[in-house]
């Protein structure tokens, strides 16, 4: 085996987004493209000589070839040991768990999360630091700067590693350990939740659940946890075999793309509980019998009931939520007498708060929820949290939500996504809002009067770092608001996200559909941003 130094030239499109670098598979397959980015990581993260890294991905197309390349590059760059998931599989939450358990230097996650897979789909690479969380902006910026000037990379001339056999192999001077992808994560879950009580719920014959793994990475974890450790009947997990193209589906757990699960939970003889997770296992959707729980409400309910769960019995240090997420959790925090932090979108912004023990639970409206047990959002953790609460309270999801709203009021909330918008049109739309912003204060739109318009800026309370231009906010005097953002997770065109929120302190006993409650704000958003005319779309691609 010999180390090869390969001459290369920079690619100028390797700036990591909110969750690493995401591109079409065909882009990553270009000669030197993946290698340039991986070498830029190794060149930017400090002294890696002899260190341990964790490596795995969500099993999408190109996962295995990419892992072989990264292993050989790691060996050539002086890494001492790599723990890689069996078959190249490690969910994003499991990667964070393993980094933390084994005190690794960091980890590389191969995933484009909820984006489509397959040969014509997307691929992604993300670096996680030693606390198990996504690299902060100062690290991703250093990686990006390196990609712009890189002129060589190092790789070992060696045979491929057998990724399917658990055990230890030498690759040059580096030790490669293929580990069980599930066991460390499953053991952590069992330490946090009352598995005996959840087992009674799932095996008692009165409660039925359906877990949709969407042919993505959590299939392996869901079978092991729900059907094996917790004894749920076979068939509880659907679409549970991870596939490179996610069964030709879109592994985004929302009401549009998780259509099979939605049909079951809103059909005849529906189960009591339904859940779905995404491509890499860090997102979740929670459903009841004919009932959808918004991610914002989910965070609030978990916070309000946290002391029912063994791992959180001593209470919460605080709650953190992304700016576009509704203020439902803020109301719980106020009642509990704890702080609630508002951060930009991107899980990396929660890391400092969790490390400093300022927050215990975190959540984003984009179907991501998590806690201080790892430093990533965690789909199956959220499902188990809900099951633990339901096992204790012996209530349906609908009655639990109604009880919550009667206690805290209801934040009517929705997100409208316009996907695949031409970049020029999307930028023109955002520019138009910026242009109008200085004149909006005091302007009336029907019963709504504008109180402020700004672009959200965040100063990290731990390290003082400042993140600007994190989303346009239009707030009204009654506390309602509209938020506009261009998403950083897509690979083609732009995705416009519009977030709408209105609070009602005394909501009616019979729940009102959020789209009806928000109808006036939806019309105002279109008037303000000229969404239909500039996007050319009559309606959103996805409504959640």
- Catalytic residue set: 113
Question: Which of 296, 310, 330 shows the shortest CA–CA distance to 385?
Answer: 310
CA distances from 417 to 196, 360, 439, 503 (A): 40, 29, 26, 21
Q: What is the dihedral of CA 470, 476, 482, 486, to 10 degrees?
A: -30
Strands 81-89 and 174-179: parallel
Q: Please classify residue 179 by burial: count the beta carbons closer than 10 Å to its beta carbon, then call 0-12 exposed, 13-18 middle and 19+ buried.
A: buried
- Helix (H/G/I), strand (E/B), else coil: 169: strand
As a 3-state breakdown, the chain gives helix, strand, coil percent values, each rounded to 5, of: 35, 25, 40
> Tokens 């191969």 identify what position?
110
* Maximum separation of any 2 CA atoms in the chain, in Å: 73
Q: What are phi and psi of 386, to 5 degrees?
A: -60, -45
Alpha-carbon distance of 487 to 417, in angstroms, equals: 9
Q: What tokens does 380 get?
A: 């199956």
List, in sequence order, every residue forming a beta bridge with 284; answer none if it has no partner. 277
Within 13 Å of residue 412, how many CA atoms lie on the same side as its CB?
Answer: 22
Question: Which of 240, 198, 33, 25 shows the shortest CA–CA distance to 122?
Answer: 25
CA distances from 243 to 21, 58, 77 (A): 22, 9, 32
User: Length of the chain, please?
Assistant: 544
CA distances from 121 to 112, 117, 217, 249, 379 (A): 9, 4, 16, 11, 22
Using the CB atoms, write b or e for 192-219: b if 16+ within 10 Å: bbbbebbbebbeeeebbbbbbbbbbbbb
Question: Which of 274, 272, 325, 504 shows the shortest CA–CA distance to 405?
Answer: 504
- Helix (H/G/I), strand (E/B), else coil: 113: coil
Q: Do 416 and 500 contact (CB within 8 A), yes or no? A: yes
List, in sequence order, every residue forming a beta bridge with 275; answer none if it has no partner. 211, 286
Neighbouring CB atoms inside 10 A of 491's CB total 18
Q: Do 380 and 221 contact (CB within 8 A), yes or no? A: yes
Q: Do 386 and 286 contact (CB within 8 A), yes or no? A: yes
Q: What tokens does 184 get?
A: 């460390």
Which letter does DSSP use for residue 18 in this model? B
């Amino acid at each position: 085996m010999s180390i090869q130094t390969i001459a290369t030239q920079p690619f100028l499109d390797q700036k990591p987004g909110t969750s690493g670098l995401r591109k079409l598979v065909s882009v990553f397959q270009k000669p030197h493209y993946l290698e340039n980015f991986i070498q830029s990581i190794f060149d930017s993260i400090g002294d890696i000589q002899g260190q341990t890294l964790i490596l795995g991905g969500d099993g999408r197309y190109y996962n295995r070839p990419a892992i072989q390349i990264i292993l050989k590059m790691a060996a050539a760059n002086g890494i001492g040991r790599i723990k890689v998931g069996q078959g190249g599989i490690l969910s994003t939450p499991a990667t964070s768990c393993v980094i933390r358990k084994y005190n690794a230097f960091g980890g590389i996650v191969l995933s484009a999360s909820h984006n489509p897979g397959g040969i014509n789909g997307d691929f992604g690479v993300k670096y996680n630091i030693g606390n198990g969380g996504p690299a902060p902006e100062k690290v991703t910026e250093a990686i990006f700067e390196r990609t712009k000037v890189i002129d060589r990379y190092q790789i070992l001339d060696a045979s491929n590693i057998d990724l399917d056999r658990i055990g230890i192999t030498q690759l040059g001077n580096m030790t490669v350990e293929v580990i069980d992808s599930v066991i460390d994560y499953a053991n952590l879950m069992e330490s946090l939740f009352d598995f005996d009580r959840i087992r009674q719920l799932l095996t008692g014959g009165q409660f039925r659940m359906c877990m949709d793994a969407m042919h993505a990475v959590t299939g392996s974890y869901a079978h092991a946890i729900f059907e094996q450790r917790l004894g749920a009947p076979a068939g509880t997990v659907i679409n549970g075999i991870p596939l490179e193209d996610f069964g030709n589906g879109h592994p985004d757990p929302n009401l549009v793309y998780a259509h099979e699960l939605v049909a079951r939970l809103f059909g005849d003889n529906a189960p009591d509980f339904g859940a779905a997770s995404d491509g890499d296992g860090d997102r979740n959707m929670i459903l009841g019998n004919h009932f959808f729980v918004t991610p914002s409400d989910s965070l609030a309910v978990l916070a309000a009931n946290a002391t029912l769960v063994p791992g959180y019995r001593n209470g919460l240090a605080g709650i953190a939520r992304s700016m576009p997420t509704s203020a439902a959790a803020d109301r719980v925090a106020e009642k509990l007498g704890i702080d609630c932090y508002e951060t930009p979108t991107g899980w990396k912004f929660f890391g400092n708060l969790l490390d400093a023990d300022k927050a215990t639970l975190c959540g984003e409206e984009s179907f991501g929820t998590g806690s201080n047990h790892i430093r990533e959002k965690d789909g199956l953790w959220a499902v188990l949290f809900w099951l633990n609460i339901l096992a204790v309270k012996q209530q349906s999801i609908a009655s639990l939500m109604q009880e919550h709203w009667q206690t805290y009021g209801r934040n009517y909330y929705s997100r409208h996504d316009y996907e695949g918008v031409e970049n020029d049109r999307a930028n023109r739309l955002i520019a138009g809002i910026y242009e109008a912003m200085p004149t909006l204060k005091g302007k009336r739109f029907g019963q709504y009067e504008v109180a402020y318009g700004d672009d959200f800026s965040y100063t990290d309370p731990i390290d003082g770092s400042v993140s600007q231009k994190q989303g346009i906010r239009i707030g009204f005097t009654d506390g309602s608001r509209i938020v506009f953002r261009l998403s950083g997770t897509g690979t083609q065109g732009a995705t416009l996200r519009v977030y709408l929120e209105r609070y009602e302190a005394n909501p009616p006993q019979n729940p009102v559909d959020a789209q009806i409650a928000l109808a006036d704000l939806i019309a105002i958003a279109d008037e303000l941003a000229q969404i239909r005319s500039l996007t050319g779309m009559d309606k959103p691609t996805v409504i959640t």
